[in-house]
Amino acid sequence: MRVTELLPGWRQVARWVRVLALINARKPPPERTPALPPITGGDGILADVPPTKRSILVISTSRGDARGLSQVTAALVPAESVSVRVVMTELAEPAWNPTGLEILRRVPTRIVNCGFGEAGSVERLARAAHALALAAIDRPQGALPDIVVLMGDRHELLPLAHALLLQGWPIAHVSGGEITEGVFDDAVRHALTKLSHLHLCTADQAAARILQMGEEPWRVVVTGDPTLDGLTDIATQAATSLPEALGFPLERPVAIVTYHPPTLTPELLEPELESVISSLTEVRTIVATHPGAEPHSAEILERLHRWSSSNPAVHVLSALGGLYAALLAQADVLVGNSSSGLIEAPVFCLPTVNIGDRQRGRQRAANVIDVPGRPEMVSEAVRHALDPTFRASLNGLVNPYGDGHAAERIRDVLTSVPVGGLARKRFVDAPLTPPKHD
């Protein structure tokens, strides 16, 4: 066939191309998605990565995961076999420890203002979590993450994990398998286990629960809690400048108040918080931290500010970062329902009065005094915690959440686990005992 015989056919094709171009020209331009917050510290969250390097994305959403993930990031960055990127929310950034903040200057980092700071209602919390999920999967040209690292049980991790699942990005989840029966975090944590592909557990008991959920044993590793890594060093470094940094002297006894909403029993919030307040009338310095961004947190914050305005001993602070460890080291008692009383406080043998059911089911050391939210019982527990004899009895306390070397173990897992096929999971059935019928 000669070339001239092909010309009519090509003319027809060219005609259709011109018609399609005219049609497309009349279409309205596509809607543009709102610009996401700028990226600092590199060319992009997923900028080009050498083919020999493994790409790891660390996502930090709150102060609850900030200390642990800052340690994990610090351990990963020197590893020559990986390239690390970080996404964090406006709540997480102030809580990263000094070492972690220094590391952030060396890696591509996106700080996303999702609106968690203004989120008082369920609707605002949902919108903020949605904004985080969209920001986390937004990417320029470049390599996809081989592994995404998440930590904890915060509610905003669920939509985030859903987005990662849709992208097909494998998740390494830190601190799964724990129990907190008094809040909906418990359900979030177990849901994240099934959405994740590697499980980096704080203790043997947590690992056993994950195996009960049908996860393959090779995916489950006991590392300890990275929140504990370097905690005493951070406290020592910040100790001398603590009063100056806080802006007030620490007159003894010193109490830390960290109280979060009991999300499954919100009707207990007011009586529990009033029990905390009434139990500390004799304490000379009270440092109350902001509650987490959860339903009813605005009610707690409003009451804390009213307490502070009527009592000069009370200081309400939003974020302490590395100062929190120094404060734990110098405080005489921690009162509330925060996991820090069970996880970090044992490092400093700090007595903790744990109120209500928020932490029910979690492992605890001997520093924890569990008490219901009744004024007379909380007051008695605080008196017992402040007794020098009780404090002395905690010398040599063993922390059930690890030995302070978790980040190294997590780094070793993330840099060595085979990533090919990591997202394809197999359910492991446990031997079943047939039910008995009368």
Query: How distant, in Å, are the alpha carbons of 30, 53, 137, 424 from that of 145?
Result: 28, 11, 10, 16
Where are the strands (E) in 290-383, listed by range? Answer: 314-317, 333-336, 352-355, 368-371
pLDDT at residue 30, rounded to an integer? 36
Lowest mean pLDDT of 94-108, 300-314, 355-369, 379-393, name the range.
Answer: 94-108
- Domain positions in the chain: 39-229+404-416, 231-392
Q: How confident is the model at residue 165 (pLDDT cuts 50, 70, 90)?
A: very high
> How do residues 401-417 score in pLDDT, each as one tens digit?
999 999 999 999 999 99
Secondary structure of residue 274 in the 3-state scheme: helix
pLDDT at residue 21, rounded to an integer? 40
Please tell me the distance from the alpha carbon of residue 313 to that of residue 105, in angstroms, as a whole number. 37
Indicate the average pLDDT of the chain: 87
pLDDT at residue 118, rounded to an integer? 59
Instruction: Give the best-scoring range by mean pLDDT among 14-28, 48-62, 243-257.
Output: 243-257
Structure-token match 């986390």, residue found = 136
pLDDT at residue 406, rounded to an integer? 98
Provide the terminal-to-terminal Cα distance of the chain, rounded to the nearest Å.
87
**Cβ-count burial 114-124 (b if 16+ within 10 Å, e if not):** bbbeebbeeee
- Phi then psi for residue 257, to 5 deg, are -115, 120
Looking at the predicted structure, is the pLDDT value of residue 6 above 50? no
Please tell me the distance from the alpha carbon of residue 158 to that of residue 145, in angstroms, as a whole number. 19
Give the β-pairing of 39-40 and 109-112.
antiparallel
Contact 297, 218 (CB under 8 A): no
Contact 324, 245 (CB under 8 A): no
Superfamily grouping for domain 231-392: Glycogen Phosphorylase B; (3.40.50.2000)
Looking at the predicted structure, is the pLDDT value of residue 347 above 80? yes
CA 117-121-125 angle, 5° bins? 55
Query: Which has more confidence, 105 or 354?
Result: 354
pLDDT at residue 185, rounded to an integer? 92
Averaged pLDDT, 14-29: 39
pLDDT at residue 430, rounded to an integer? 83
107, two tokens? 């890696």
Query: Which has more confidence, 238 or 88?
Result: 88
pLDDT at residue 402, rounded to an integer? 96
Looking at the predicted structure, is the pLDDT value of residue 172 above 90? yes
CATH of region 39-229+404-416: 3.40.50.2000
Averaged pLDDT, 46-64: 79
Contact 149, 69 (CB under 8 A): yes
pLDDT at residue 190, rounded to an integer? 98
pLDDT at residue 57, rounded to an integer? 96
Phi-psi category of residue 14: left, alpha or beta, with phi > 0 → left and psi -120 to 50 → alpha = alpha
231-392 shares the fold of 39-229+404-416: yes
Please tell me the distance from the alpha carbon of residue 376 to that of residue 336, in angstroms, as a whole number. 15
> How do residues 262-309 score in pLDDT, each as one tens digit?
989 999 999 999 999 999 999 999 999 999 888 899 999 999 999 999
Q: Any residues with CB less than 8 A from the CB of 53 and at least 6 apart, and which? A: 81, 82, 83
Please tell me the distance from the alpha carbon of residue 219 to that of residue 327, in angstroms, as a whole number. 36
